[in-house]
Structure formats: structure tokens, C-alpha cells
Chains A and B, each alone.
Chain A
Amino acid sequence: MHVGLTHYLVVSTILFCIGLYGVLTRRNAVAILMGIELMLNASNINLVAFNRYLAPGAVGGQTFALVIITLAACEAAVGLALVMAAYRSLETIHVDEINVMKW
């Protein structure tokens, strides 16, 4: 049996849904960011797999995967800085306890 596009898409779907479950059910803001990283990884698998199987001569998919990796690093930096700021002023990083707009 040959490994085709569908195999990669199935793996990336499962990874995306695991990340979505983490984002929806976690209380800890850092764990929610981890779920978002999993979802971004799933989208990257999709991009690279489409590049390989549907347009093997082009590099557009890999280029966009690199852009998404860069933006994921930005997102992690800003998100974790926000978590630090919230922890400093509210003494908690559980998102269901952060329910004030201004303290």
C-alpha cells in the first residue's frame, strides 16, 4: 500500500481535533497556547502535503508553511507575554478566573 495524500490529511485532521479539544477544555492559559500550536502544526502538515502531492514542481506550500511557523513564533511570544502580564496583575493564569476587564 502506498502512502498518499489522504494519509497525511487524516493525520493532520486528527492532530487539529486534538488541539481543538485542548483549546476548548483547558483552564490554564499556557495549555491553551499549546493546543493552538498543535492546530498550527496540523495546518502546516496540510500545506506541505498538498505541495508534495498536488503541485510537486512548486514550492508555494512550503513557503507558506515557513510563514506560518514564523507567525506561530510571534503568536507564542505575544501570548506568553500576555500570560505573564495577567499573572502579575491577577495572580492567576486560569482563564475562567480572569473575568475582569480592568483591575
Chain B
Amino acid sequence: MGELAAFIILACVTLIPAVVVVTSGNIVRSALSLIPTFLGVTGLYILLHAEFVAGIQILIYAGAITVLILFVIMLTAGGTGTRIRQVNEQVPLGAMAAVWLGFLILLVIFRTRWPYTATPAPQYNVASIGTAFLTDYVLIFEVTSLVLLVSLIGAIIVARREE
């Protein structure tokens, strides 16, 4: 019962600011509403016994990405005014597409018989994540680090002021 209450609260903390993110006419308010959304997702991770992913989520999403987005909003002054129209003319079409896709996915979710296994209480599994990264998933780990390096160098070059 307590788990269900925690889940419902975290789902509301996640979804209500997410609606504000996509509908608010003030872009700074949208960016700040990302923070409770990310924190709610962090809570869901903790509820799922994925503490390490939760910590990384706070560090990278709530810490780094939100600050990066706010910096870019401040640096591009032309798009931030509240009198500027923030949505294009596709609002009915976009809402229709989102609702239709959501209906389809929910239909699939409720009609699939998931192969549940007996769930023992998972151990605190940071060590097993590290072991998996350096044994089974070492190729993914290395390629991801390469992608990170290349994309950060590329971002610096793209954003640099040309002489």
C-alpha cells in the first residue's frame, strides 16, 4: 500500500511538470519544470531498486542538462520573450498523433502477457553493474566513451565563434 502511494505521488511529480514543459508559453518556466520531472523519474528508479541509475540521473539530467539548457536560453535572447508565439500551427495534429500513439502503446501493453519471473529482493547492485560494464558490455562501454569524446569536441567546434 505504501509502495502504491509512493508510486502515485512520484508519477504525478513526473507527469504534471512534464505537461508544463510542453505547454508553457514561457520557455524559462519550461526549462525549470524539467527539474521536478527528472527528480520524479529518479524517485521511480529508487522505487525500482536501481539506486546507481538514480544517482546518475540526478547528476547528469537534473544537474548538467538542465543547466546547459538554461544557459542556451539565456544566450539566445531572441526566443525567450513571453509575447513570442511558442507553438507552431501543428497543435491539433501533434495532439492527435501523441494521443493516437499513446493509445496504441497502451493497447499493446495491456494485451501482452509479460513473462514474469519470481522476483527475489535484488541486492544493492552497483558492483555488478561495474562488472557487467567491464566484461559483457565492454564494447558498448568503449564505443559510448568514444561517442562522448567525439560529440563534446564536435560541440565545442560547432559552438565556437568563427574568426
Contact = CB atoms under 8 A, between A and B. Distances in A.
Contacts of B161: 88
Contacts of A16: 101-102, 105
Contacts, number: 244
User: Chain A contact residues (Cβ within 8 angstroms of B): what range?
Assistant: 35 or more
B101 A34 contact: no
7 contacts: A11-B14, A13-B106, A24-B97, A26-B87, A38-B21, A76-B65, A84-B158
Interface of A: 1-3, 5-11, 13-22, 24-31, 33-35, 37-38, 41, 44-45, 48-49, 51-57, 59-60, 62-63, 65-67, 69-78, 80-85, 87-88, 91-94, 96
A22 B22 CA distance: 5
B31 A87 contact: no
**6 residue pairs, one from A and one from B, having the closest CB atoms:** A24-B94, A22-B22, A74-B151, A81-B159, A17-B102, A81-B155
Q: Is the interface of A mostly helix, strand, loop or mixed?
A: helix
Given A59-B128, A73-B148, A27 B86 contact: yes
A3 to B, nearest CB: 5
A102 to B, nearest CB: 14
A13 B154 contact: no
Given A27-B88, A41-B38, A70 B148 contact: yes
Nearest to B31: A34
Contact of B15 (A5, A14, A27, A92): A14
Given A75-B151, A84-B158, 11 more contacts: A10-B106, A16-B102, A17-B101, A18-B98, A21-B94, A25-B87, A59-B132, A63-B133, A67-B144, A76-B65, A92-B79
B98 A69 contact: no
B30 A81 contact: no
A63 B44 contact: no
Contact of B86 (A10, A18, A26, A55): A26
Contacts of B110: 6
